[in-house]
Chains A and B, each alone.
Chain A
């Protein structure tokens, strides 16, 4: 019978502690501190750290040999690809111009980001058109 190394549970406790700290940090940074434009990247960064901890330790990815450890970075690459390219496309879209005389109030229910630009207004998009 193969001899199995008995593993200590303390490692999991430490990881659980780290996850708890990160969860509290997410709540504090999201509700108590006003980070403005940084709030989304900070929240996403914390979420990524928690995901990596769960995948590496609770899903035992850290114990796997090379080929199986590729799963996590590959998944991350494809997620970045989907989000990155989609966002790049949205940022480089044409803002449709409106005929003169059309008031903003005609589109009251639409969020500002999706409204058409008034004639002559400067585009805030990153590239082109």
Chain B
């Protein structure tokens, strides 16, 4: 590897070998595509965060505060649509998966580089159409587009439906690309039992994406057909069945929770290993539990429908099956903790996010078992209890893992270090802010506060104020991260080639990597995260 003068970084990297705008827009380099996805999902996070803050400000007082009821309805829809479809689903697989998966496998690129670029532009087109629908007048259906209301709502539902439909193709293409890459482009020595666990989770996620996303596309098209052509598929007054919509929607959208969470679990595994200086405890069980979650996740969609008119027999079956997910999740949590136990722990910022992740995942997971109990769910259904539950399990977990990945792989991606003190402050602010935002919502839900309501009784105000205060802390934390990361791109210290002394396979390439990842074919002669030898891995 040719090093730059006075530096331990490669002289030519994927960042500087071509610098024109055209070279970025037409790139087939998985790393650049990963960076473009990263910019896209961060923009979506910003947009969704602005909508969230607007909601929380409105809920500061029991009556009208800053917006009209219809605006409020649109705002929670836009928040949900943006966060789920534009941010959480593509965040880790498309951004970080694209960047590190081929490097971890010792490949020069993904199996289909052109398709990879197409996947980004399809995501961009779908996102733009969705944003156009939001700006045109916005929808008021909630991100779930429940029928029959979504088929008759006077707001602009169809462009948003079509936007999400298009984004689905991006997801399928990315999934196919990753599956093929894992099967065909592993370097010599990369046996199935040596594949890094982050890659395993991306692989499991890709299978879900390929199998389930077409069902989402189908159901969104049916809703659009019912809106535009007046077909009687879901509308009971025309002989349709609205519960059928929920079946088809949740057949995708429940596994979609694992599309979001499984890659997050992969990030956590990498970070736990790197900062406890140990390989993962129970590699095979952690990999197997990934597929356990992916598989069982397909049998649990009906737990969203306990009060929909679904049969009690169906609810009972779905309730029991839903609880099985907790077993596989617990395997992972026990293995992470067992890995940390006795390790040489280096409490850097990514590990701090891991601790936040484990806490939030456990809290969200255990309340998940509670809401999978049909008798309890009848009380909590469509209340803030459920809102708090899924924010802990989905948003909390994904955000923590996203931020952990961002900080862990930042020196790898951009060759720069960020200021540790500021990053520590931001991490503490975000973890604390998240808990303060959503813990009161469990109490609100238990008191009977329904979700998506514009007004509420005065005795609930203090909990809403607390929640808004937490959201403000979150916003402050994200602002801080944006400032110091942007600062580090220009002024941050140059990162060593292996900033954390990690033994993860992605560190076998330079930081930032060269255009084709390696200057010579890498050989993976040691297990991933093998810390039994003192020296860091050779850079190829």
A interface list, Cβ under 8 A from B: 67-68, 74-75, 78, 81-82, 85-86, 88-94, 109-111, 114, 127-129
Contact = CB atoms under 8 A, between A and B. Distances in A.
Across chains A and B, which 3 residue pairs bring their CB atoms closest together, nearest first? A89-B314, A92-B311, A92-B313
Contacts of B310: 89, 93
A94 B314 contact: no
Given A110-B236, A129-B312, 20 more contacts: A68-B183, A74-B211, A75-B211, A78-B211, A81-B299, A82-B247, A85-B299, A86-B247, A86-B248, A89-B310, A89-B314, A90-B241, A90-B311, A91-B311, A93-B311, A93-B314, A109-B239, A111-B239, A114-B239, A127-B313
B311 A129 contact: yes
Nearest to B305: A89
Q: Chain B, interface size: which category?
A: 20 to 34
B328 interface: no
Contacts of A68: 183
A92 B298 contact: no
A109 B311 contact: no
A26 to B, nearest CB: 23
Contacts, number: 60
A78 B251 CA distance: 10
22 contacts: A67-B183, A68-B183, A78-B212, A78-B298, A82-B215, A82-B247, A85-B299, A86-B251, A89-B313, A92-B312, A92-B313, A93-B310, A93-B311, A109-B237, A109-B238, A110-B236, A110-B239, A114-B239, A114-B241, A128-B312, A129-B311, A129-B313
Contact of B311 (A67, A81, A89, A114): A89
A85 B248 CA distance: 11
A127 B311 CA distance: 9
Interface in B207-242: 211-212, 215, 236-239, 241
Contacts of B248: 82, 86
Contacts of B238: 109
B433 interface: no
Nearest to A128: B313
Interface in B243-258: 244, 247-248, 251
B97 interface: no
Contact of A114 (B215, B236, B247, B312): B236
Contacts of B309: 93-94
Interface of B: 183, 211-212, 215, 236-239, 241, 244, 247-248, 251, 298-299, 302, 309-314
A86 B244 contact: yes
Contacts of B237: 109-110
Nearest to B310: A89
A93 B309 CA distance: 8
A73 B429 CA distance: 48
Given A86-B244, A109-B237, A128 B311 contact: yes
A61 to B, nearest CB: 15
A90 B302 CA distance: 12
A110 B299 CA distance: 31
A89 B248 CA distance: 13
A65 B299 CA distance: 29
Contacts of B241: 90, 114
B242 to A, nearest CB: 11
A92 B302 CA distance: 14
Contacts of A89: 247, 302, 310-311, 313-314
A1 B311 CA distance: 63
B179 to A, nearest CB: 10
A110 B313 CA distance: 25
Nearest to B180: A68
Contacts of B211: 74-75, 78
Contacts of A111: 239
B306 to A, nearest CB: 12
Contacts of B298: 78, 81
Given A67-B183, A82-B251, A89-B302, A94 B239 contact: no
A82 B301 CA distance: 10
A74 B207 CA distance: 10
Interface centre among B211, B299, B311 (most CB of A within 10 A): B311
A66 B358 CA distance: 38
Interface centre among A68, A85, A110, A127 (most CB of B within 10 A): A85
Nearest to B215: A82
B248 to A, nearest CB: 8
A85 B313 contact: no
Nearest to B309: A93
Contacts of A128: 311-313
Contacts of A85: 299, 302, 314
A67 B64 CA distance: 59
Contacts of B215: 82
B226 to A, nearest CB: 16
